[in-house]
Amino acid sequence: MLGHTLLGLMVATASLVDARPPPHNVHAVAGNGTVKCPVVFDGRIAKTTVATDFDSYATSKFNAEYVKGKELKWSDIIKFPDVAATPRFDNASTKPFEVTISDKSIFQTQNGFRRAGLQFQGDTNTDSPGSKGVKTLHFSLKWDAQRALNLSHEYLLVWHEAADYSANQFNFEAGTIIGQSLAKDTYKVLNRKNQQIWSTAIDKTAWQNFAITLDFNKNTLQVYYSKDDEPLKSVTSAVSNDNSGNGQYQIGILKKPTGTSDVVNSGFQSRNLNEGLTYGSLFLEDSASSCVSL
Ligand SMILES: *[C@@H]1O[C@H](CO)[C@@H](O)[C@H](O)[C@H]1NC(C)=O
Ligand SMILES: *[C@@H]1O[C@H](CO)[C@@H](O)[C@H](O)[C@H]1NC(C)=O
Ligand SMILES: *[C@@H]1O[C@H](CO)[C@@H](O)[C@H](O)[C@H]1NC(C)=O
């Protein structure tokens, strides 16, 4: 009888344990891409990473304090959605992560924006290795239908901002670019002058892999692209772009408001916001001697 009760207890305990959500992405098929150039900043995170690891410098690969709403911690922002496969440059020991925005995603007093942007640790605003020589930023994106972006708005998703905050050397965006008549359901690369130099339709099921080579010596920018586990292909030539001004990469979401000429401080944002985008295969590699991992 006692044995039976004990057994019952053990079964109950076991089923309690089993009821916990499974570790994320455990069954995801790893990507088959090989990184062949030296990695300068690695934003690929270990499969064992938990959201609270993003809250401190000791355990995060990113700046633990920026750029986010002051009431939020990174562990409130980062999610780990289940994905069937990891993108091309994630392997069996790494996993993608989702960056989300909510009504609380107000950085400092920028009431017009909703934003949450990761910066690599070590990517200092001046004199960063990321703003010298020739560097390629790799990132892969996956749409989350549960936290869909509202493409009636303009979203910055990946960019490099000059040290004096006066400009972004490039913007990788989605949605409705304010003041321009471009298709809204695309990912687009804009140059320093905010002119689109390339775009592709947003695929709501596949991983979409991107790489942007910035030549800080020759002042050019080149885009590479593929889907799922396909090798990247160059989709632009090395187009002229003003890459001067140092600064930092930012990986995450900046959602602009609608209906204002002062996007930083005012305008319309929907309430009860619950939006996000999944990022993976994130790293910056050294493309000196034209090395780009495909
Ligand atoms: C990697 O290659 C293996 C073997 O060809 C394949 O089964 C797997 O699906 C590939 N990974 C991805 C993410 O496509
Ligand atoms: C997977 O990628 C990580 C991140 O770059 C790297 O540290 C690790 O060695 C890789 N693991 C394997 C098995 O290739
Ligand atoms: C999307 O944004 C537009 C413009 O701000 C807004 O009118 C609309 O209600 C939003 N849709 C959703 C589903 O939030």
Residues having CB within 6 Å of any atom of ligand 1: 29, 31-32, 85, 228-229
Residue 18 lies in a domain: no
Using pLDDT thresholds of 50, 70 and 90, give the confidence band for residue 22.
very low
pLDDT recorded at residue 84: 86
% of the chain beyond a pLDDT of 90: 87
Please name every residue paired with 58 in a beta bridge, in sequence order, or none if there are none: none
CA of 88 to the centre of ligand 1 (A): 9
Number of domains in the chain: 1
Q: Which residues line ligand 3 (CB under 6 A)?
A: 150, 152-153, 258, 268, 270
- Note the ligand closest to the C-alpha atom of 269: 3
Give the per-residue pLDDT at 154: 98
**pLDDT, position 28:** 75
Question: Does residue 4 form part of some domain?
Answer: no
DSSP SS3 for 225:
strand
| Mean per-residue pLDDT over the chain, rounded | 92
Instruction: Tell me the CATH number at 101.
Output: 2.60.120.1160
**Position with higher pLDDT, 15 vs 173:** 173
Distance CA 228, CA 151 (A): 23
Give the type of residue at 27: H
258 Cα nearest atom in ligand 3: 5
Q: What is the mean pLDDT of residues 215-237?
A: 98
Mean pLDDT, residues 197-212: 98
The closest residue, in CA terms, to atom 3 on ligand 3 is 152
- The minimum-distance atom of ligand 2 relative to the CA of 283 is 5
Ligand in closest contact with the CA of 268: 3
Cα of 206 to ligand 1 centre, how many Å? 14
Q: Could you tell me the residue range of the domain that residue 101 belongs to?
A: 27-290
What are the distances in angstroms from CA 213 to CA 60, 87, 101, 199?
A: 25, 19, 28, 16
